Structure 1
Amino acid sequence: MTGRGSVLLAALGERARRLSPEMLAYVSGPPDPSGWGVGRGEFEIAGSRFGPLLRLARPILGPGMLVTRRERRVPFTVVDRPWSSGDGEPALATGRVFGFRGGSQRFIDVLLTGPEPGALRNVLGARGRVELLLDCGVDAEGRLILRSRSMRLRIGRRRLRLPRLLGIAAESATGFDAERQCYTISARARHPVLGTVLEYRGDFAYEHLPGPAGCHSPEQTAA
């Protein structure tokens, strides 16, 4: 999320002016193009109630995508690393570690420039088998809103769009609580039949740190 090459700023365009000052700084990223961001906080609740079912999908979808536990008061760490995609477009790799009491779990994703203004491609997991097309916006409270429009499954070199009954609808809201002086996050993924299959909400402190020269690839993202 570098200020000179923020994939989020590029998607928001003029709408970025509606972000709260703290959120604008968050989205813009560190002044150092090689910098990165680290957030640490606690989720009020995090995880999925479909853990056993999700474990069955792990061999297909790969690591770094499925959260199979569900607990309250879960500590977490998030690491954001900006990099450049193969065509030189800005991108953002994010790694999240959920500190469940039953064992930590990791969720990683990459944000890439979308096919049109206001859109982002969100590639999930270490293998990138699942891709969401997101709409990027700002709500009346100055929060960053990401909302999925469609879901695709990558099989070899092909990306197959899933019908609504097989897909997941995801939405997240990231903001800043001025009274408590912390960032807030809420995210939910819903299936049209099963209902909520993943959710997390909580707050966190966030800072930008300098990094080594050059760009970071998704494989280097760690929490």
Structure 2
Amino acid sequence: MTVSGGVLLEALGAEASRLHPMLRAQMSSSGERQEARGVFTLAGSRFRRLNLLGVPIVGRDALVSRYERDVPFVLVTATRRDERGRAALDTVREFGFRGGAQLIADRLVASRHPGLVRDVLGRAGRIELILRCEVAEHGALRMVSERAAVRVAGRRIALRGLLRLDVRVEDGWDAVEQRRTIRMRARNPLAGTVLEYRGWYRTVSLGADDAVQKV
């Protein structure tokens, strides 16, 4: 799940004015592509290789099978319009695990409902989250899942009760180090934390038409 792009500003509406100015400037970027690099102080899943059993269900680039500290990562985002003409933000995260790089991809799509975005996880798009966007303390962007579903054999199955997936993402700004901070955790009532990462990153390259200064 990504935390940059005009899709999120659109979801926040008037609340976007409360974001930290640096976050708001980067999210207002007019460039179609951005690349950032950083380090996760902790990243992955405690289930490690057991997650590979879920690949046939959720598809590729939706799970990781490592759990490590001090993991370098690359974040590539691209803004576009989806097949319905809605604003969309595609994100690919490359985790530089010591056992080999792994990817998680997702697409955020603007919702007709104020404050909400739809997040589709993995290239197969089989996991779907409805996220509420809000501005947290110190101007950070917070996203909290309200609903989750999985697509299996062409059917959409809502994940409720003990099957639900609770996701919380917070993207902030470290004024001392002049860099963005990120924290994400996905939990299930039965399994506990199934994916988490936290760390920092900086933009290293921008689209040719982007006016935002590199940080």
Q: TM-score, normalised by structure 1?
A: 0.88
Output aligned runs, 1:13-162, within 5 Å: 13-29=13-29, 31-32=30-31, 35-162=32-159
Q: How far 1:99 sits from its partner (Å)? A: 0.1
SS in 2 for 1:52: helix
Q: How far 1:208 sits from its partner (Å)? A: 5.0
Equivalent residue, structure 1, for 2:166: 169
Q: For residues 131-174 of structure 1, what are the alpha-carbon distances to aligned partners after superposition, in whole Å with 9 as ceiling and x for unaligned? A: 00100111121011111111111235542211221121111100
| Contact 1:114-1:133 within 8 A present in 2 as well | no
Long gaps (5+) in structure 1 = 213-223
Q: For residues 84-122 of structure 1, what are the alpha-carbon distances to aligned partners after superposition, in whole Å with 9 as ceiling and x for unaligned? A: 012211100000000000111000000011241100100
Calculate percent identity across the aligned residue pairs: 43
- 1:10 equivalenced with 2:15 (yes/no): no
SS in 2 for 1:141: helix
The separation in 1 between residues aligned to 2:79 and 2:168, in whole angstroms, is 22
More off after superposition, 203-212 vs 121-130: 203-212
The separation in 1 between residues aligned to 2:199 and 2:121, in whole angstroms, is 21
Coordinate RMSD, CA, aligned: 1.9
The separation in 2 between residues aligned to 1:160 and 1:114, in whole angstroms, is 20
Q: How far 1:17 sits from its partner (Å)? A: 0.2
Code of the aligned partner of 2:132: D
More off after superposition, 69-78 vs 152-161: 152-161
SS in 2 for 1:110: strand
Q: TM-score, normalised by structure 2?
A: 0.91
- Moved runs in structure 1, 4+ residues, more than 6 A? none
Q: How far 1:68 sits from its partner (Å)? A: 1.1
| Contact 1:183-1:204 within 8 A present in 2 as well | yes
